[in-house]
């Protein structure tokens, strides 16, 4: 019988509680210039969802009312939101660290020729997706020509100082496995990336972040179609490590969707699994203006095992390193 997705409705994962809010991870838009197989957002060139000016003003109010340390901008391609630069500039003026989840190819799209310079001027940390240092593997996962354009983008960032010693401009790369497996050890893979990218292309970067693929959305559907979903879930559960629980990013991060609704993580957002309510049927940015999150429960399902398997996984890479 073909695999289905019922395991995501089970509540086997340990109960978690929040610490104080430190990071807002904001999904500005589902619009993207790429359509990657592993994308848990199902982003692509035809998506139209985009954060409104009204919600952006609420975002600014929350930043002003909380001791938020970082603004993590994602999508889609967050840079394709028409007010991306305004949001970055506001957050930097408020003293926040800003992270741009960049797919690299956006840097060579028409109309974005000065994007890299803007990121450098604002001191934005770039977290760039590069699932392999091999052309064939990257193009297979992300589309023909993506590897060449990604290398072009990395060279452009390096030329501006990103990844260079003592520049203060942080450039991190993100690795996702191509199939239903756990990432290899992060430190060893980082050394391989550094060697190959330097020797082959003269490229430098700060850190490699390995992220376990979530069994949801586009990747989850692929697993189901290949009859691999249940096997993958078993792999995640069998490799559960309680040592990863304290470092889970849902403990101090709130995910905000393009409409301003709140989730405990970006993956819960894609599953429409909202944060336990603060003051209404669905928690919203406006509810954060007066709320404190420490000690509140976190919504979990079986997909959370992807974050605790093996060395652990978060948007900042492995937890067990």
Asked if residue 181 is part of any domain, the answer here is yes
Q: What's the start-to-end Cα distance of the chain, in Å?
A: 39
Stated as kind and residue range, the H or E segment containing 286 is helix 285-288
Full residue range of the structural domain in which residue 186 is found = 6-308
Asked if residue 125 is part of any domain, the answer here is yes
Asked if residue 60 is part of any domain, the answer here is yes
- What pLDDT score was predicted for residue 35? 65
Tell me the HSE value of 240 on the side-chain side, using a 13 A CA sphere: 13
Asked if residue 315 is part of any domain, the answer here is no
In whole angstroms, how far apart are CA 262 and each of 115, 137, 166, 209, 257?
A: 28, 35, 36, 25, 7
Per-residue pLDDT of the chain (321 residues), as tens digits, is 334 444 444 457 899 999 999 999 999 999 998 765 555 566 678 898 999 999 999 999 999 888 899 999 998 899 999 999 999 999 999 999 999 999 999 999 999 999 999 999 999 999 998 877 877 666 666 666 888 999 999 999 999 999 999 999 999 999 988 889 999 999 999 999 999 999 999 999 999 999 999 998 778 888 999 999 999 999 999 999 999 999 999 999 999 999 999 999 999 998 889 999 887 788 999 999 888 899 999 999 999 999 999 999 998 999 975
E-assigned strand segments in 88-144 = 97-102, 125-129
- What pLDDT score was predicted for residue 143? 62
Q: What SS3 state is found at 192?
A: helix
Asked if residue 266 is part of any domain, the answer here is yes
Asked if residue 1 is part of any domain, the answer here is no
Number of domains in the chain: 1
- What pLDDT score was predicted for residue 85? 98
CATH code for the domain in which residue 180 is found: 3.20.20.70
Asked if residue 316 is part of any domain, the answer here is no
Q: In the block, which residue shows the tokens 């990432």?
A: 183
Q: How many whole angstroms separate alpha carbon 72 and alpha carbon 127?
A: 10
| pTM metric for this prediction | 0.91
Asked if residue 321 is part of any domain, the answer here is no
């Amino acid at each position: 019988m073909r695999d289905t997705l019922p395991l995501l409705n089970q509540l086997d994962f340990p109960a978690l509680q929040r610490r104080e809010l430190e990071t807002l991870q904001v999904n500005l838009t589902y619009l993207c210039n790429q359509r990657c197989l592993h994308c848990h957002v199902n982003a692509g060139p035809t998506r139209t969802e985009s954060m409104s000016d009204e919600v952006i003003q609420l975002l600014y109010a929350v930043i002003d009312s909380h001791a938020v340390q970082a603004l993590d901008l994602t999508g889609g391609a967050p840079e394709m939101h028409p007010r991306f630069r305004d949001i970055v500039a506001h957050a930097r003026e408020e003293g926040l660290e800003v992270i741009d989840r960049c797919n690299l190819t956006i840097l060579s799209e028409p109309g974005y020729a000065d994007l890299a310079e803007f990121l450098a001027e604002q001191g934005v940390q770039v977290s760039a997706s590069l699932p392999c240092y091999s052309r064939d593997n990257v193009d297979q996962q992300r589309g023909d020509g993506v590897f060449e354009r990604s290398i072009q983008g990395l060279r452009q960032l390096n030329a501006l100082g990103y990844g260079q010693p003592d520049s203060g401009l942080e450039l991190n790369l993100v690795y996702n496995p191509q199939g239903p497996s756990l990432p290899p050890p992060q430190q060893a893979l980082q050394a391989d990336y550094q060697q190959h990218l330097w020797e082959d292309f003269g490229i430098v970067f700060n850190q490699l972040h390995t992220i376990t693929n979530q069994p949801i959305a586009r990747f989850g559907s692929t697993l189901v179609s290949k009859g691999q979903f249940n096997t993958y879930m078993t792999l995640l559960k069998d490799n559960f490590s309680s040592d990863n629980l304290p470092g889970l990013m849902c403990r101090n991060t709130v995910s905000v969707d393009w409409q301003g609704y709140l989730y405990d993580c970006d993956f819960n957002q894609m599953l429409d699994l909202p944060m336990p309510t603060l003051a209404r049927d669905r928690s919203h940015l406006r509810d954060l203006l007066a709320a404190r999150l420490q000690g509140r429960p976190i919504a979990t399902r079986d997909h959370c095992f992807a974050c605790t398997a093996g060395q652990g996984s978060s948007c900042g890479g492995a937890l067990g390193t």
